[in-house]
Chains A and B, each alone.
Chain A
Amino acid sequence: MSMDMLQIPDWSDLGGFLPETVMFGAFLLALLGDLIARRRPAVPFAIALTGALTALALAIAGLDTPERTILGDLVVVDGLAAFFRVLFALVAVATMLISWASEEIMGRSRENKGEYYALIALMTGGMMVMAEARDLLMLYLSLELVSLSSYVMAGYMRNSLRATEASLKYVIFGAVSSGVMLYGLSLLYGLTGSLTYVGIRDALAAGAGDPLSLLTVCVLLLAGLGYKIAMVPFHFWAPDVYEGAPTPVAAFFSVGPKAAGFAMMIRFFYTTMQPAIDRVDWRLLIAVLSVATMTYANLVAVRQTNVKRLLAYSSIAHAGYLLMGFLMLTAAGLQAILFYLLVYALMNLGAFLFVIALNNSLKSEHIDDYAGLGFRSPWAAAMMIVFLFSLTGLPPTAGFIGKFYLFAAVMQEGWYWLAIVGVLNSVVSLFYYMKIARTMYFTKAPADAPAVPIAPLHYVMMVLLAAPTLALGLYWGGFKDLADRAIQHFTAI
């Protein structure tokens, strides 16, 4: 183990670590608040929300601070980490607000509402660390922190059979894949003799590791990381968990941990594995996985009749699109990923929010029950159309701009076949997204269809998500600059 590991952390290090500290503090305080003010979930909710908002403000303020390593070389706060901190804080705030008006979370029979908000705070802190980890130990620690809290969140409805099953599946899948990854990490340590990314990179650059063992390491690591971003063939948990977990939890999972997984993959592969590319062409490996992911997910999504499962496969497919940008190893590719993740957070949360808002009154996620919604709840349905078009990648929505940058990055590097597979996949995805639109607008509602009142808070959130989804499709200059700035000093490129 290298000597710098033994460095004693300096208190001043915490200065660069504020948003995370706030999130963890909010977690503890929310738990405490829940304990004291039992049966009043407003207290932990307010604490967690205040924490997330504070973290958001701090993360935004910290966007332009220079790169610094903290706790020896365990974590690094640079542009990339700063960008992801903002994203995670935003997602946390949105999820908390969405959950507050959701019957699934706040329904009468639920007894652990306080914990729920505390867990979101904990997970958000964990995701921030995932984006900052620059050491194998920290990588594993933050990944497990996020995983463990997500198992609990998936099983939030503890007396629902479906939720319990989902949670159990999640635990088993998660345990296996993280075990597999741990094995890969140990191999990597054995090959390079270092736990820090920098140390590993230097060892690999000096020629450590033969092609076969490096390939094994890549595959084993991808099992763990691929599981987090729901990449084929490590995606099997996603549809079941999304379907079984409360919808707000599914919404959070589809955006937060996925983005965190990408942040971790970017830092790990770009920093450490780049020198090894002459011995193991992991770009091709990921290209194949990317194609498999989007093609498989899009084809399977076509047959779904449950909206949550459909959105689960859609989010798997989006991991496939994002992987295309990932393997470019260029600034353009990274910028495209970051921009896409931002856009994806907006539109995917929006689509899930529609499902959550309707679940309050419909008590169903079956597509057929959405019949006639275009006329029963015209404004909400119209906003859902914006989200669906954006997910498909049609102008004038943000989703198109995101896809455009991704494809442009792929074309720039000359991966034409990949770009062609990618665009054809978005044509397939149109079919199943439009399945929702079709039911809402072209099918008549049955005579006994219930009224669909939508909680005012949900309405507000929907507008807040739909407006930028549309506006960013017309002018995205500023947001793109944000993504571009994030990697300006990312030394790996």
Chain B
Amino acid sequence: MIPSIEFRGVSKFFGNIIALKDISFKVFKGEITALLGDNGAGKSTLIKLLSGVHMPSEGEILLSGEPVNFKSPRQAVSAGIGTVYQDLALQPLMSVTRNFFLGREITKGLFLNMPLMNTITKKEMAKLGIDVADPTQPIGTMSGGQRQTLAIARAIYFGANILILDEPTSALGQKQQLEVLRTIKKVKELGDIAIIFITHNDMHAKLLGDRFAFLNRGKVLAEGSRDEIDMNNLRPLMAGGAELEKLETEFSGR
């Protein structure tokens, strides 16, 4: 199967700073690729390369086997890459529906088609397991998990077939984290979306990941499917550093 998105030897330099060095990994549709790494591992830079904010300094990014070169976030979005950032890009004082359609409103003539937008919002949220009772309420009234779901549902509705989730569980309480994990599972079950799940929570990665990529100090330490990676070593892999040598021998021995 051709990967939905593939990084081949991608590097990114900012002046004399090496943010990412020789990154390679693959993401397939209908699968969750967990991208693990500690703070400062280069996750943010990677997201920015994926979402068209930055262009790689070296190497290439392939979209369904075709090399691409996003010059702007807009290009990445129209190529079907949807990024759900940690801050979710939501407006707390605006309604659920208005948030869902912000920037891409459905109009009837000059005016907003609120009934249609309300219906779609309810339907799309229900697909991911959230029942929105009243989509005209401000999203300030929703839980953190529900907001995350809203941001994900929005990205999918507007054509994302590669969904990048930037630490979707990190800012939430336990119960809401589970809610979000359930949402991500539902997205996977839709079948045609490739999910890049960025996290530093090895438990969450283990629960959901079909493939894993470990990022440490700008480099991919290991990459592979569930079978190829020793699940018990997720945590040390993430920590990198001192464990590095030990793991290298382990993987070269497979």
Q: Do A and B bind each other?
A: no
Mark A residues whose CB is within 8 Å of B.
none
Mark B residues whose CB is within 8 Å of A.
none
